[in-house]
């Protein structure tokens, strides 16, 4: 039970902080119609939104994202393995080989099925 006290306190602090921000802005903000267009923006002092969020873009970007994922996952596992390569020994090399092999199969699939051809 006691070990969860910190979680509870954090939760309480989060609720209080968020609640205080809402209440404070209610009290402090000027009443009546907004005088400035900027007041109506999503982020008053942020980047000015230029268009709707529903934009059409080429489906190929999804393929690029998937290709990125293959190497991303590979790197995410290669670094920790590289740090412990001595302790893990031969088994580790075999395991990481299988892992990279599987991802390579995915890469070869991507390549063979024309994922790299932009036109």
**Residues at the interface with other proteins (CB under 8 A):** 1, 4, 102, 105, 108-109, 112-113
- Comparing C-alpha atoms, which of 103, 109, 96 is closest to residue 72? 103
Taking the complex as a whole, the smallest distance from the CB of residue 86 to other proteins amounts, in Å, to 19
Please, which residue, 54 or 112, has the CB nearer to other proteins? 112
Q: Smaller CB distance to other proteins: residue 12 or 108?
A: 108
Report the Cα 42 to chain-centroid distance in Å: 21
Q: Closest separation between CB of residue 43 and other proteins, Å? A: 29
In the three-class reduction of DSSP (H, G, I as helix; E, B as strand; rest coil), residue 52 is classed as coil
Number of H helices, E strands in the chain: 3, 0
Tell me, rounded to whole angstroms, the distance of Cα 1 from its chain centroid.
33
**Which of 4/61 has CB closer to other proteins?**
4
Closest approach of Cβ 112 to other proteins, in Å? 4
Q: Which tokens is 13 given?
A: 């602090």
């Amino acid at each position: 039970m006691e070990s969860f006290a910190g979680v509870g306190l954090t939760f309480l602090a989060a609720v209080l902080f968020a609640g205080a921000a809402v209440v404070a802005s209610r009290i402090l903000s000027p009443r009546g119609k907004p005088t400035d267009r900027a007041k109506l923006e999503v982020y008053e002092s942020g980047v000015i939104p230029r268009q709707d969020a529903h934009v059409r873009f080429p489906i190929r970007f999804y393929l690029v994202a998937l290709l990125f994922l293959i190497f991303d996952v590979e790197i995410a596992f290669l670094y920790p393995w590289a740090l412990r390569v001595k302790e893990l020994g031969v088994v580790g090399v075999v395991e990481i080989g299988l892992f990279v092999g599987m991802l390579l199969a995915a890469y070869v699939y991507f390549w063979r099925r024309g994922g790299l051809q932009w036109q």
